[in-house]
Structure 1
């Protein structure tokens, strides 16, 4: 069998072949487009314009390329560009909707009470305080401070217990006045202080917001509470 000889392409044929390869290897409009395709498209489009210009300059004047072919080639790239931009817009919309759903869910926390390492308002009702026991401790004391930072009571508690209750008494046995108090539990081993853990109490939530990807609860006294640090939630006290 005789095989027809092949010859290297020159002039218009070479430009047309290169342009044809660019068109057929470029992404088309109905192809899935990723975010990184925008940079690739920009590079391909520059190459496309260069080859298109070369094709127009070197086309056979007796047999010029149909204008409809140029229009079709430009339409291919335009469609891909529009697809990329549409995907970017959809991603932005999805992100906005997701953020909105987070805020709506967090709004349910407003008016409720959450347990957190913060001051607590005392009105004569005993307060339950959560702490973190230290395994090596053989003794522990609850330290209560008023809003001036002054110690109003220090009393022994069971070092193995996670919860302790403050009934509102001061060190001299008198009732503490209403107000804001903070709590800590100091753990000792063989007479030495080995750890001081903050007491966590229930506080009322008055505001919620997103700080980037972090949900923030704002207590009635203005304390900002990362949602990840909340250990319990309950219905708010009735007005």
Structure 2
């Protein structure tokens, strides 16, 4: 992770320098072409000076836009690198996020958010293929639940990623399904698509802004 950030910092000035060199070369070529145009114009019908001014202004505008784009790219790269550095301290911590959780033989802590109008709530667990593997009635209201990787028939499920949700009911009628949060270990902070994402234990990936809570590992 640190090596990737370092390489990114080194490569950026090269790109900016190349752009500046290209702009300088293009500007010199433009001036040469403009000079040739002036030398070879019809003396009886010379080009209006306003036309030259428009050409110069147009080129200057394009040049300024390219330089602005290079500057914004450099700033974005710097901010991304700073973000990775700041989030590096999160690696190794347990994060609460609405993402699949890794069951590795130890209980998975699930934070539930059932509908506030519910008088009956069920915790539902799906495996990586989307197959329901567990369903159990739980207490009404927000709470943290320890799921021990047990299926409804009492067998221990294989290690892997599992997603969690609650189904809420009121007077026997369904109020819908609500996703649940899971506490997972952060194993990597990574730059992606102009932002910072966190890789959780088991391979789930979430944006850093989606982390609801952090804590030291138990």
Cα distance in 2, alignment partners of residues 114 and 177 from structure 1:
23
Please name the residue that 1:133 is paired with: 114
Higher RCO (Cα < 8 Å, 6 or more apart)? 2
3-state SS of the aligned residue for 1:236?
coil
TM-score where L is the length of structure 1: 0.54
Please name the residue that 2:7 is paired with: none
Q: 1:189 aligns with which of 144, 166, 170?
A: 170
Cα distance in 1, alignment partners of residues 165 and 127 from structure 2:
12
3-state SS of the aligned residue for 1:94?
helix
1:224 maps to 2:205 = yes
Query: Does structure 2 retain, via aligned residues, the 8 Å contact 1:128–1:163?
Result: no
Cα distance in 1, alignment partners of residues 88 and 150 from structure 2:
38
In the TM superposition, what whole-angstrom CA distance separates every residue of 1:24-66 from its partner, at most 9, and x where no partner exists? xxxxxxxxxxxxxxxxx99x969964896489x97xxxxxxxx
Please name the residue that 1:101 is paired with: 82
3-state SS of the aligned residue for 1:134?
coil
RMSD: 4.3
Aligned residue pairs total 173
In the TM superposition, what is the alpha-carbon distance from 1:86 to its structure 2 partner? 6.7
3-state SS of the aligned residue for 1:108?
helix
Stretches of 4+ aligned residues off by more than 3 angstroms? 44-55, 83-95, 122-125, 144-150, 167-182
Unaligned runs of 5+ in 1: 1-40, 59-76
TM-score where L is the length of structure 2: 0.58
3-state SS of the aligned residue for 1:222?
coil
Query: Does structure 1 retain, via aligned residues, the 8 Å contact 2:80–2:194?
Result: no
Please name the residue that 1:111 is paired with: 92
3-state SS of the aligned residue for 1:136?
coil
Unaligned runs of 5+ in 2: 1-26, 44-56
Q: Which has the higher helix share?
A: 2
Cα distance in 2, alignment partners of residues 86 and 172 from structure 1:
62
Cα distance in 2, alignment partners of residues 89 and 170 from structure 1:
54
Q: Judging changes above 3 Å, is the alpha-carbon distance between structure 1 residues 169 and 228 closer, same or farther for their aligned structure 2 residues?
A: closer
Please name the residue that 2:185 is paired with: 204
